[in-house]
A = this chain, B = another copy of it.
């Protein structure tokens, strides 16, 4: 039995998540009401509760899904090989991935403080896992003499901050293409880690 009678939650459900993501990114979680989200979907506020138990879950679910997607996407893109190859792949993947979902990225970085304690802890685990991906690459390269950084942990944080910063100023109709941007960033990352 595929779909039950009268059902079209397979349509409305995603619309709710998309509207919430768009609005949260634009105005912030706390500033967006359930009625605004419902309005975007073309439905009354009460109907949203067929698709989420509450507003907080709407936020947590999209953040968790985003982090999961980021980790999985890197896992698929990781070419293995030398630390240098992997660092370049990481840099390019990070930029491409982040520029492809600006709203989700924005929320993942800005709405951490609006997560309830337990949800926050869960997201932090995923976030930390991603940071460790880069830290491990840098550690390997440092050990092999391919990189020369003063402090591996600090270098990891610096690189991620630098790369993520691209989302704050990138515009689709801007001066540089994503590919050109990725090239420039890789050049700076490479030099910054002393390779």
List A residues at the B interface (Cβ < 8 Å): 26-28, 30-31, 110, 113-114, 149-151, 153-155, 157-162, 164-166, 168-169, 175-176, 181, 183-185, 187-189, 191-194
Contact = CB atoms under 8 A, between A and B. Distances in A.
Contacts of A28: 28, 30, 113-114
A168 B128 CA distance: 13
A158 to B, nearest CB: 5
A26 B30 CA distance: 13
Contacts of A168: 157, 161
A128 to B, nearest CB: 11
26 contacts: A26-B113, A27-B114, A30-B30, A30-B31, A31-B114, A110-B110, A150-B187, A150-B188, A154-B184, A157-B165, A157-B168, A157-B169, A158-B162, A158-B185, A159-B162, A160-B165, A161-B162, A161-B165, A162-B162, A162-B165, A164-B165, A188-B192, A188-B193, A191-B192, A191-B194, A192-B192
A176 B150 CA distance: 12
A60 to B, nearest CB: 16
**Mostly helix, strand, loop or mixed at chain A's interface?**
helix
- State the oligomeric state as a number of copies: 2
Contacts of A175: 153
Contacts of A114: 27-28, 31
A174 B159 CA distance: 19
Nearest to A31: B30
Contacts of A150: 183-184, 187-188
A181 B154 CA distance: 8
CB-based closest 7 A-B pairs: A161-B165, A30-B30, A162-B162, A30-B31, A192-B192, A188-B192, A150-B184
